[in-house]
Every structure is written in structure tokens, then in C-alpha cells.
Amino acid sequence: MADVGFSSSGPPNTVLPDLSPELAERLVAASASQRPRNGVAALVAEEPTFLEGWAKLGELSEEAAYDDRGNVEAYAYFRIGYHRGLDALRKNGWRGSGYVRWEHPSNLGFLRCLDGLRKMAEVIGETHEAERCSEFLSQLDPTWKP
């Protein structure tokens, strides 16, 4: 039987690439506009892999939600950002396990989408999804607190 090698440093850490300064500036400007959801939505339409944009769009929709339709809209934005984030993680070496920590600013778009998905799943009564997201967040960063 072959020996199983264990890393002394624990599970691998995945850190997404830094956010483009230009995109960050455009997100700030869109978020500060008179109709921030429209501005951020236009930015995300131009840059569909922009995780911070999806997170912001979900958060803006969550803030504006006054009924289940609005909550479902926020849920959808967070879900899209979450799936785009999984693609980005895989592209950057993540193999389905290991850490993706909050301490790295470049990971925040993905983690905010996952946490937003957790919250909105809870709000719309999708309990199993909320629990799965909570568990996944804890696995990605054991220091995460809801």
C-alpha cells in the first residue's frame, strides 16, 4: 500500500486575482449614482465575470426588496455571482476543497455572493440551501461568522 502524503501546512489557500482598479472605480461610481441598481447592472452586463459587481447588485436588490419578488431577485444575483466565482476559483487552481479566506480582498466578491445567497435562501424559506451555504462558508474559512 502506498503512503499517503499530508501537507504540514494544511489545506491549500486559493486567492483570486486582484480587482482591476478601473472596475473598482466604475463600481464605486455606479453605486453612488442616482439609480445604483441600474448602474451596477449595466456594469455587470459589460463585465459578467465581475464578482464584486454581482455581490453589489445582490446587496442593492436585497436592500430594496419589499416583497418576495425582490428577495428572489437578490437571490438570483447572488447565485449568479456564486457560480461565476466557482468558475474563477477553478481557473485559479481551486480543486473543490481548501481555503478561500475573507482576509484576501480579492476573494470578497465571491464570498459576499455566497453569504448573500445564504441569507436570501433563508429569507425565501429555502432552508437546505441556506444550511449548505453556511457549511460551505465555514469550510472555506473556518473564521467566518454569519
Do 104 and 73 contact (CB within 8 A), yes or no?
Answer: no
75: left (phi over 0), alpha (psi -120 to 50) or beta: alpha
Mean pLDDT of 38-50: 97
The pLDDT-based confidence of 7 (bands split at 50, 70, 90) is: low
Question: What confidence score (pLDDT) does residue 3 get?
Answer: 43
CA torsion, ordered 132, 137, 140, 145, to nearest 10 deg: -150
Please give the mean pLDDT across all residues of the chain.
92
Q: Phi and psi for 124 in degrees, rounded to 5?
A: -90, 5
The 10s digit of each residue's pLDDT in 96-144 is 999 999 999 999 999 999 999 999 999 999 999 999 999 999 999 999 9
pLDDT tens track for 15-24: 999 999 999 9
pLDDT score for 22: 96
Q: Three-state SS for 52?
A: helix
What kind and span of H or E run contains 109? Answer: helix 108-123
pLDDT tier, 67 (very low <50, low <70, confident <90, very high otherwise): confident
Would residue 101 be called left, alpha or beta, if left means φ above 0 and alpha means ψ between -120 and 50 degrees?
A: beta
Displacement of CA 67 from its chain's centroid (Å): 23
Alpha helix (H) residue ranges in 11-107: 21-31, 36-46, 51-64, 68-91
How large is the average pLDDT for residues 46-55?
97
Q: Taking 50 as the threshold, does the pLDDT of residue 4 lie above it?
A: no
Task: Look at residue 69 and tell me whether its pLDDT is greater than 80.
Answer: no
Cell 473556518 locates to: 142
Domain boundary assignment for the chain: 21-140
